[in-house]
Structure 1
Amino acid sequence: MIINSIKFFLMLGINLLMLGALSLNAYIVYNDSLHELDEIYDAELARSAKFISLLLRAGLTNPGTELPVVVEVPETNDRGEALTSQQERLLTGHKYEGKIAFQVQQGDKLIMVSENALQFPTPKHEAGYHEIREHNTLWVTFSYYVSEQNLWIFTAQREDIREEMGGHIAQAQVRPVLMMMLPLSFLIYLVIKLILRPLHLLQLQVADKTPEQLHEIQLKLPAELKPIQTAINSLLERIRSYIKQEKRFVADASHELRTPLSILHLHAQNLSVANNAHDVAEAVNAITEGSKRMSHLVDQLLSVAHLDHIQHIHCTCIPLTPLLHQSLSQLPLALLDKVHWQLTLDDSCQLYGDMTLLQSLLRNVFDNAAKYSPNDGTVTVTTYQRAEMTIITVSNSGIADADIGRLGDRFYRHPQHQHLVGAGLGLSIVRHIVTLHGGQISFSVNSDGGLDVTITLPALKHLKHT
């Protein structure tokens, strides 16, 4: 199982960092303590040797005393009891009292020895500290020479005694770390849970959203989460706009489909009760025209639905003049013959875009220009290039729409044009294709009372905005 949790990795990371920091601190303290212990024990060896020399020089040993003098060392066993320093001071001796052994030589004669010096290593007759390994045991010794009395005083301590003390110190360092790990981990968990609570609240707010409830999220979040909330609110706004657009599209499409369907139904009824050939022919003709209008509407609706879901287009460099002629050739002959076509084309112009979409764009513009022109009117098509942009202007004569600002809205048709076949989607498709190519489209009334449609599209790859 793969664990993919921020909380888990935060817990793991912080605990590992904490354990590493505490362990490093314990290691440093342990080594410093060992160093200090070595200095204390070394000083104790030297002090004991010098103290013994003072006793001997003070004549505290009687001449008739049997040599060597054995100094008794009280035996205090460490029974593993956890005693305080005050309790240990009440005993007759201390457990570490027997950790230092000594012996005194005068010439070759041993004159004094501690009771615990039975395994005393062979001393070195050289003043100072020495490390001597004897019988697989390492000893730290201190040799002190008193020249006036020809005395050699040797004090010694086993290294494993020091290591034992180091072990106690290490336990004292590790024990708090181990004891604090669990409560510290629990506290870290609570802190992480508290820190991540705003993220949990944000997740609950997002999970609570439905298509009917896409209102903005308003939470008091930390500065790091505010950009996420802003991005989510922006996404919700786009979703609301998209849903609203889809609802409007469905409503408008339903309305537009209802009219031809009603007409078809009416003429079908007329056909069923027709008594003569003239009525039958009239009803059949009406049904045929209604079917054409519905087929055109369905094609336009499919085009709009297709464009709404396009996010990326395949672009190539396209010569404009051949594309323009191809688009004109796709118009119905009735529209081609209805008006006079006046073409002023710059053959050097080219476009950078999707050929199929651009062909649909030009076809819809030409269709609208011819459809809404009077019979024997003129449609002028002009192309030229300026500042690495290609401009296409399509002008017709006739009556321009008074509400130019609404041109390009879905299903918008001027009341005077309701008798013409159409769905009010052509210029909406044109506007959408222009937007996909990073271009611009504008409408204006010309001197002949007709409409000028000016389309600006990029001619080069680097000018297209994605």
Structure 2
Amino acid sequence: MSVRNSLYWRLLAWLLLPLLGLAALMLWQAYLGARDTADRAFDRLLEAASLAIAEQVKWQDNRLWLDLPPAALEMLATDAEERVFYALYATGDEFVTGNARLPALEGGGTALRFADVGWQDQTLRLGVREARLEDWDQQERFEVRVAHTREGREALAFSLFQGSLARVALLALLATGVLVLAIRFALAPLTRLRRAIRARDPRTLAPLELALPRELAELRETLNELLSRMRRVRANQERFIGDASHQLRTPLAGLSARAELALRQNDPDAWRDALQAMRTTSASAAHLAVQLLSLTRLNNPEATPELEPLDLTRVARRATRHALSACQRAGIDLGVETPESAVIVSGIDWQLEEALANLIDNARRYGSQGRDDPCVTVRVNASPPALEVEDNGPGIPAHLRLMVLRPFFRGQAPGEGSGLGLAIVDGIARSHGARLSLEEAYSGHGLRAIIRFPEAHA
């Protein structure tokens, strides 16, 4: 299984990515905090050094004079060996003394200012202190400028950042470990469900009985519903197979009995009668086998072709033409009524022809009973689109019209039918999104079988 299709790795990735982003943000904040802490610490040293220098400024020989104490600059020296600069300026930016001519800072008016400045291809941290002499007879203003390079600051900032990096890395490792364990524990019920399904006997369709969290319980119930539908399908298949075997066993047993009885006779006329009976029985068995194959094919959704536009008028005429000879031999008047224009629906032509063939065959077998002038009419309606087969026979009682749609249900009418014709027609209708209904004939005597198609398919 690839990582992309793994739920475990997906959850881990989607949870780790925000965690890594948060860790990166924390490290950036830690770096900025370390730099700010180092700047504030060294700025305090600049402030102390400028104050120490300002206290040593005096007025002597009509000018400012500085007797620089060694401790004023030594306090700025660190193990990083950064370079230290100082300068004393009088009013008007006049350089008095110092080891470098340091630049001025804009924004006067404050006693102490700090800034990073570029000076002679190097970056300095410059502190400027404005002060004045405190003698009773002289109050000359001056500026003390003290600066040093940033090696010490950067070393301190990196040291502070290393401490933060170690803490963040440790927290990230702990969070990742907790996250991995949490995902593993959270997916444990899914693993149990998978193992329970894999360990089941493939022949059993019993419901799953497994304690699961609410979200997976819904999946379990969905699986149980699927298993319940599969149980119903298997029960229907087993019942269908049992009925079909029973239906086929009867004519086959009849053929065997007829053949055995004929072999005991020496009269050619008895042989002829047995052969005729065997021919009738074999024709009935062949018809039953064809209907069983049709019903099996209808129940296989993978073998169903796509629906295509077709004309119901042409389907009705072809089905009527194919059934005409059988109806004429039975003395039944078979006719077809179609509109002048085409009636277009989405369907499968051979299935609809088979449905009409079964309806016409049922009308021929049962609709002609008890009538001196039996007739069967195939009709096509345009709005809504529908196929009708009407006979003038005894009809079917209203309380049996739904039951005769079940396979192998023959109702009360005698005959050699198998009870599959209307079930096949109903399956074909449902596969076309249509509905089969059995109603009383227009004349009040007989049955009218109608396949109504939805208007959207017209």
CA distance in 1, matches of 2:291, 2:383: 34
Structure 1 letter corresponding to 2:155: E
Three-state SS of the structure 2 residue aligned to 1:325 is helix
2:379 aligns with 383
1:395, distance to aligned residue in structure 2 (A): 2.3
Q: Does 1:276 align with 2:267?
A: yes
> Contact (CA 8 Å) 2:360, 2:389: kept in 1 or not?
no
> Contact (CA 8 Å) 1:351, 1:457: kept in 2 or not?
no
- Inter-CA distance 100–145: structure 2 relative to 1 (3 Å threshold): farther
1:403 aligns with 400
- Which shifted more, 292-301 or 407-416? 407-416
Three-state SS of the structure 1 residue aligned to 2:323 is coil
1:154, distance to aligned residue in structure 2 (A): 4.7
Q: 1:442 aligns with which of 419, 430, 437?
A: 437
Q: 2:117 aligns with which of 131, 150, 158?
A: 131
Three-state SS of the structure 2 residue aligned to 1:182 is helix
Three-state SS of the structure 2 residue aligned to 1:290 is helix
**Unpaired segments of 5 or more residues in structure 1?**
59-66, 76-93, 112-120
Q: 2:100 aligns with which of 118, 122, 125?
A: 122
1:15, distance to aligned residue in structure 2 (A): 1.6
Structure 2 letter corresponding to 1:14: L
**Unpaired segments of 5 or more residues in structure 2?**
60-66, 106-112, 134-139
CA distance in 2, matches of 1:211, 1:7: 27
> Contact (CA 8 Å) 1:125, 1:143: kept in 2 or not?
no
> Contact (CA 8 Å) 1:397, 1:451: kept in 2 or not?
yes
CA distance in 1, matches of 2:253, 2:268: 23
1:248, distance to aligned residue in structure 2 (A): 1.0
- Inter-CA distance 331–389: structure 2 relative to 1 (3 Å threshold): closer
Three-state SS of the structure 1 residue aligned to 2:254 is helix
Three-state SS of the structure 1 residue aligned to 2:230 is helix
Q: Does 1:294 align with 2:285?
A: yes
Q: Where do residues 10-409 of structure 1 align in structure 2 (5 Å cutoff)?
A: 10-54=11-55, 70-71=70-71, 101=84, 122-124=100-102, 126=104, 129=114, 131=117, 133=119, 138-144=123-129, 148=133, 153-210=144-201, 212-217=203-208, 224-225=215-216, 228-310=219-301, 311=304, 313-320=306-313, 322-331=314-323, 333-341=325-333, 343=335, 345-348=337-340, 350-352=343-345, 353-372=347-366, 373-374=368-369, 376-381=372-377, 383=379, 385=381, 387-390=383-386, 392-398=388-394, 400=396, 403-409=400-406
How far does the alpha carbon of each residue in 1:322-374 deviate from its partner, in whole angstroms, 9 at most, with x for none? 43232122227343332432646242462512211111111110101111122
1:316, distance to aligned residue in structure 2 (A): 1.4
1:202, distance to aligned residue in structure 2 (A): 3.7
- Inter-CA distance 197–354: structure 2 relative to 1 (3 Å threshold): same
- Inter-CA distance 168–284: structure 2 relative to 1 (3 Å threshold): same
1:382, distance to aligned residue in structure 2 (A): 5.7
CA distance in 2, matches of 1:399, 1:288: 29
Aligned residues: 426
Structure 1 length as normaliser, TM-score?
Answer: 0.77
- Inter-CA distance 238–216: structure 2 relative to 1 (3 Å threshold): same
CA distance in 1, matches of 2:213, 2:282: 60
> Contact (CA 8 Å) 2:291, 2:420: kept in 1 or not?
yes
CA distance in 2, matches of 1:73, 1:159: 15
CA distance in 1, matches of 2:273, 2:174: 92
Three-state SS of the structure 1 residue aligned to 2:409 is coil
CA distance in 2, matches of 1:176, 1:252: 77
CA distance in 2, matches of 1:388, 1:191: 61
